Structure 1
Amino acid sequence: MRSETVNRAAADSASSVAASAHVTAALRDFLDTDPYSDASGSGERVRGVEPFTGTEVDRFASNTPADVEAAYRTARIAASAWAAQSVEHRAKVLTRLHASLRRHESLLLDIVQYETGKARIHAYDEVLDTFNVLRHYGVMAAKYLRPTRRRGAIPGLTRTEVTRTPLGVIGFITPWNYPLTLGATDLFAALTAGNAVVHKPDSSTTLTAIFMRRLAIAAGLPPEVWQLVPGPSSEVGPALIAEADGVSFTGSTAAGRSIAAETGHRLLPTALELGGKNPMVVLSDADLPKAVEGAVRGSFSSAGQLCISIERIYVHEDLYPVFCAHFAEAARALELSAEFAYGPGMGSLGGPKQFERVSAHVEQARSVGATVIAGGHPVPELGPHFYAPTVLTDVPASAELHREETFGPVVSVYPVASDAEAVAAANDSEYGLAAAVYSRSHGREYARRIEAGMINVNEVYPASWGSIDAPAGGVKASGLGHRHGAEGLHQFTHTHTIAEQRLHPIAPAGQLDQAKFANAMTGALSVMRALRMK
């Protein structure tokens, strides 16, 4: 049996090498040029690693601070003309891009898998999110951005409205783990609001951004309003922030704090999605099979390299033994593969750095007494960065992964004596990005007690993240600002209140001396209160 498994794994590995070559060739055919030219700067050529195979490949010539300055000059000129277009005109780009995305869906899935190593179904999560964002803002942007009437200071005499204008040029720094959702789709709210963007995608996942930018240009986006400047964070990052009118960053809390200090000094609007140690709570009345199924998806989607994935699970002690047994069995049953096709339950980690972190966290937890009930080992026969879905119990506070984010297919399960204790344990973290609650009858009640920006009841991350009309973001050390909904668009705009006064000023004038003015205003406000006027 072991021989058959290894032979099949070797065949899968050879297949993934061939498929990777196919993806590169197909992308070159689509672009009809060097696929990295859109992102190349004047710096040294960057080399990267394909997650499935470990093969080193040329990426692009990295950008320098001078390249970033040039990108901003171009973007600022283009931003004025783009902002002058109607919201409806800008929104039509999204609706056309939605249709184009359907035609190129298969190739886009290949590219996301090629760059990240994730299973195809998890690459589709990104495509699905992109469809959702394009549809929502394509339909709702005009409503979100149109001037809105507000009640004036004096009803009938004061006409007040709120208008919004774009910030200008937004600096985006996006991560490797979700290169489509966070590295391309995330920009469309800013662009639809009338901004230009200077975008530093992660150096290892630049192809996805190039591909989506090309599709957006074909759908009517002026190419100058989306500038790509990948390169070393230490060089490109400071230059990008120094020139920006607003900043959006997704990444670690440590890096986010540093960026916030810089943008705070300059009083720049800043959106940050940062780290998480996301909990799942299985209450005493939970549907156990549903909770186990949710735990598998919540912990191992994209090999756990999802900002809102589950890393710690608190289970009522009455359910704990059975939950652990079934969860471990389900984790061991997941099929891992490097296939560019639907079917496998999990793919690879994103590269050597993440593989080393996951391995180190598990081994350190073992060394201080944690018990591995599933996984806990690499799977080298599939590829250099594959790691088995791992479930830990008996994890002591001295384990690094007890509180630190692992960002891999590793989850710890803890028993709790009561539902209230489960919520208290879930809240015992500096982070507050996402959470899940499983309960047959009082999930929403307990969800309201959890300190997180996105909380799901009887589901893991898709419910809150997919509710595109609602804001998505974190609390505590998990960030500032929001994606999605009106909030996701408004954060890239300036707000202006315009109030026009008619007939009489809000001041003593004419026959209305100061005493009469004061009496009149006090009386008017009393009437408004009595009538419950806003």
Structure 2
Amino acid sequence: MTASIEALLRQLPSSTEFASATAPFTGEPLPDVPQTGTESVAAAALACRAAQPGWAARPVRDRQRVLARFARLLVDDHDRLCDLMQWETGKARVHAAIEVQGVVSVARHYAARGGAYLGERRALGAVPGLVGARVGYRPKGLVGVIAPWNYPLFLAVGDVVPALLAGNAVLSKADSQAPLTLLHARHLAVRAGVPEAVWQVVAGPGSRLGPALIDEVDHLSFTGSTATGRDIARRCADRLIGASLELGGKNPMIVCADADLRAAARGAVQAAFSNAGQMCIGIERIYVHEKVFDGFRDELIRRTARLRLGAGYDYDVDMGSLTSRRQLDLTRSHVADALAKGATVATGGRARPDLGPFFHEPTVLTGVTAEMAVYAEETFGPVVSLYRVTSEAEAIRLANEGDYGLSASVWTRDLRRGRRIAAQVVAGAVNVNDGYLSAIASLGAPMGGMRTSGTGRRHGREGIVRYTEPQTVTTQRIATAYPDRFRGPLLRAMNAGTRALLAIRHRP
């Protein structure tokens, strides 16, 4: 079932230009990858468009069966996918395995529920009983997907799955750090029954391929930085095409005075240090009520210090490597800047070149203030800042500071209080008594950002209808609802009836 590296790379357009990334565990070069030219992007898009009508013409149930087979193949090739992800990104085995399970769950969810999400529905007609209205969902046509290196399976493939089920063709840009994971997933999708021309992959620098891809597609799904997202949004606006953008975050956690401190500290460790902190929905700042601050801090330090770091391909490692020199440098600069301006390292704080070129210890900072870069800028590394607050209101106010609004976490034994706080936090998803996983794993519910954390949603009904064009079809039981002969009297009668209804409904 598995394919060789050479076979995987043959899925890309042929090229005379090659580039390679660096393996995070060792610093050695990864395989050379053919770099797609802009003319090859256009050719791939043309092939997608030629194949898309036939794919869309197949019954939704057929496409659902293909996705169900794809899910089974992902499960069967679990170990191979984990190996590739670890090789390309340096993440711990446990986080690679969770990622595989995540995309399997997405495929299974849309295989089971996609038909209902896309089903034609009735709507209220202009004149009930006389005018009928139905809403159907037609595929956009060609969907572009640009996903980042940190989750090269869940984000890249998870956004492709609903696009395919909706009847679209897909043109994916593989991230330069982790193309093999995506290519292996596509290999399995083709084995499951997705026509090769319907889902195609190109590889190369985003600065070159991003604009070329946007020029070809009818809708773009992008996950990445807010700065790049702004540029993509402008380019999509110029073409009047839709864009789904999940962007940056500086996600807060609130620990209330009545929280279970052991559970909250365990959740904080998971949310701050999973995938070495390279997670858009991870926690980077924690606001703790002063009554429990010391107890929570001590428990958080204890659990953080116990994390096992390493470059192993088994499950006895808790946190792997950062993925690149750039991420290591950014993490180190945020910590160094904070210390130079008066912050304190409660635990961690150091790079670990003895483990690998890009390793950094999971780090808890206290005494962070607004003039420090780590206060408001996204670190995207294993660093979390701890703050003491005096009230629930102060915690909410501080949690809502800044321009982001992606994810948040609230810890309390009182679920009613948790929901009340959640309703006041500016974030697309708020997890009560969980760090981050509950919302992203609740596949029937939408996931996305507010403010500069993005537009649009993945998962649930919203995650598939974004790839469609709603079409309204009305039918009338007689040739015309408003005969010209009675136009004046009819409109006067309608106006009088509307006035009477408004008077009744809005009576003081």
TM over 0.5: yes
Q: Which residue of 2 aligns with 1:486?
A: 461
Residue among 269, 274, 292 paired with 2:247 = 274
Determine if contact 1:43/1:63 at 8 Å carries over to the other structure.
no
**2: distance between equivalents of 1:530 and 1:121?**
62
Q: What is the TM-score normalised by the length of structure 2?
A: 0.96
Aligned with residue 283 of structure 1, among 256, 264, 269: 256
Query: Where does residue 397 of structure 1 map in the other structure?
Result: 370
What's the CA shift string for 1:407-462, capped at 9, x where partnerless?
00000000011011001100011000000000111111111100000100000111
In structure 1, give the amino acid aligned to 2:472. Answer: T
* SS in structure 1 at match of 2:113: helix
Q: What CA deviation, in whole Å up to 9, does each residue of 1:194-214 have, x standing for no partner?
A: 111111021110011111001
- Report the counterpart of residue 101 of structure 2 in structure 1: 128
Amino acid at match of 1:204: Q
Query: How many angstroms does 1:526 deviate by?
Result: 5.5
Q: Which amino acid aligns with 1:359?
A: R
CA distance in 2, matches of 1:184, 1:99: 15
Structure 2 residue matching 1:448: 3-state secondary structure = helix
Once residues 237 and 291 of structure 2 are traced to their aligned partners in structure 1, the CA distance between those partners, rounded to angstroms, is: 48
* Matching residue of 1:4: none
Q: Which of 378, 384, 403 lines up with 1:430 in the alignment?
A: 403
Equivalence for 1:328 = 301
Equivalents in 1 of 2:388, 2:367: separation in Å? 9
Tell me how far apart the structure 1 counterparts of residues 148 and 218 of structure 2 sit (CA, whole Å). 21
Q: Are the aligned partners of 1:117 and 1:348 in contact in 2 as well (CA < 8 Å)?
A: yes
Q: 1:494 is aligned with what amino acid? A: E
Residue 283 of structure 1 and its aligned partner are, at CA, apart by: 1.1
**2:448 counterpart residue number:** 473
- Which of 79, 90, 93 in structure 1 is aligned with 2:63? 90
Cα shift readout 1:36-80 (whole Å, capped 9, x = no counterpart): 221254252111111111111333110111110111111110111
Distance 2:346 2:288 in 1: 16
Aligned position for 2:331: 358
CA RMSD of superposed structures (Å): 1.8
User: In 2 relative to 1, CA 375–336 (structure 1 residues): closer, same or farther, beyond 3 Å?
Assistant: same
| Cα deviation, residue 521, structure 1 | 6.1
Letter paired with 1:514: G
Q: In structure 1, how many angstroms separate the alpha carbons of the residues matched to 2:466 and 2:503?
A: 33
- Partner in structure 2 of residue 206 of structure 1: 179
**Are the aligned partners of 1:36 and 1:59 in contact in 2 as well (CA < 8 Å)?**
no
Q: What corresponds to 2:48 in structure 1?
A: 75
Q: CA deviation at 1:318?
A: 1.0
Match of 1:221 among 189, 194, 213: 194
Q: 1:518 aligns with which of 492, 496, 501?
A: 492
Instruction: Give 1:408's aligned residue.
Output: 381
Say if 2:13 and 2:40, in contact at 8 Å, map to a contact too: no
CA contact (8 A) 1:119 1:347 kept: yes
1:341–1:40 distance in 2 versus 1, CA, 3 Å: farther
Q: Is the 8 A contact 1:248 1:272 kept in 2?
A: yes
Q: What CA deviation, in whole Å up to 9, does each residue of 1:258-288 have, x standing for no partner?
A: 1101111221111000000000000121111
How many pairs align?
504
1:129: Cα distance to partner?
1.0
Which amino acid is 1:173 matched to? I
Work out whether residues 508 and 514 of structure 1, in 8 Å CA contact, stay in contact via their aligned partners in 2: no
Indicate whether 1:171 and 2:144 are aligned: yes
User: For 1:406 and 1:143, how far apart are their aligned partners in 2?
Assistant: 40
SS of 2:170's partner is: strand
Cα 1:529–1:504 shift into 2, 3 Å: farther
1:290-325 deviations in Å (ceiling 9; x for gaps): 110100000000000011000000001111112111
Q: Is the 8 A contact 1:298 1:310 kept in 2?
A: yes
Matched letter for residue 354 of structure 1: Q
Greater mean alpha carbon deviation, residues 467-476 or residues 236-245: 236-245
The 3-state SS of whatever aligns with 1:55 is: coil
2:153 matched residue in structure 1: 180
Work out whether residues 5 and 180 of structure 2, in 8 Å CA contact, stay in contact via their aligned partners in 1. no
Partner of 1:15: none
Tell me which moved more, 76-85 or 306-315: 76-85
Is the 2:428–2:447 Cα contact (8 Å) retained in structure 1? yes
- 3-state SS, counterpart of residue 347 of structure 1: coil
C-alpha distance 197-391 of structure 1, shift in aligned 2 (>3 A): same
| 1:529 to partner: Cα distance | 10
The 3 A distance-change label for structure 1 pair 523 and 480 is same
Aligned to 1:152: 125
Q: Residue 203 of structure 1 aligns to a residue in which SS?
A: coil
Deviations 1:369-427 (A, max 9, x none): 11001100011121111110000000111111110000000000000110110011000
Deviation at 1:248, TM superposition (A): 0.9
* SS of corresponding position for 2:155: coil
Q: Call closer, same or farther: CA 1:395–1:41 in 2, change over 3 Å.
A: farther
Structure 1 alignment gaps of length 5 or more: 1-26
Give the equivalent residue in structure 2 for 1:244.
217
8 Å Cα contact 2:35/2:203 also seen in 1? yes
Q: Kindly provide the amino acid, as one letter, of the partner of residue 453 in structure 1.
A: G
Comparing 75-84 and 52-61, the one that deviates more: 52-61
CA–CA distance in structure 1, aligned partners of residues 503 and 43 of structure 2: 56
- Pair 1:443–1:150, CA change in 2 (3 A): same
Aligned to 1:110: 83
Distance 1:465 1:217, change over 3 A: same
The answer on whether the counterparts of 2:148 and 2:223 sit within 8 Å (CA) in structure 1 is yes
Structure 2 partner of 1:49: 22
Partner AA of 1:492 in structure 2: Y
For 2:157, give the aligned amino acid.
Answer: A
Query: Structure 1 CA distance, aligned partners of 2:115 and 2:96?
Result: 30
Q: Counterpart in 2 of 1:14?
A: none
**1:523 corresponds to which letter in structure 2?**
G
Q: Matches of 1:109 and 1:425 in 2, distance apart?
A: 38
Cα distance in 1, alignment partners of residues 503 and 90 from structure 2: 61
Q: Is the CA contact (8 Å cut-off) linking 1:43 and 1:64 kept in structure 2? A: no
Contact 2:255–2:289 at 8 Å: present in 1 too? yes
| Residue type at the aligned position of 2:418 | G
Residue aligning to 1:253: 226
Q: Does 1:499 align with 2:484?
A: no
Q: Is residue 262 of structure 1 aligned with residue 232 of structure 2?
A: no
What's the offset of the Cα at 1:33? 4.3
Structure 1 segment 417-456 matched on structure 2, within 5 A: 417-441=390-414, 442-456=417-431
Aligned-partner SS, 2:80: helix
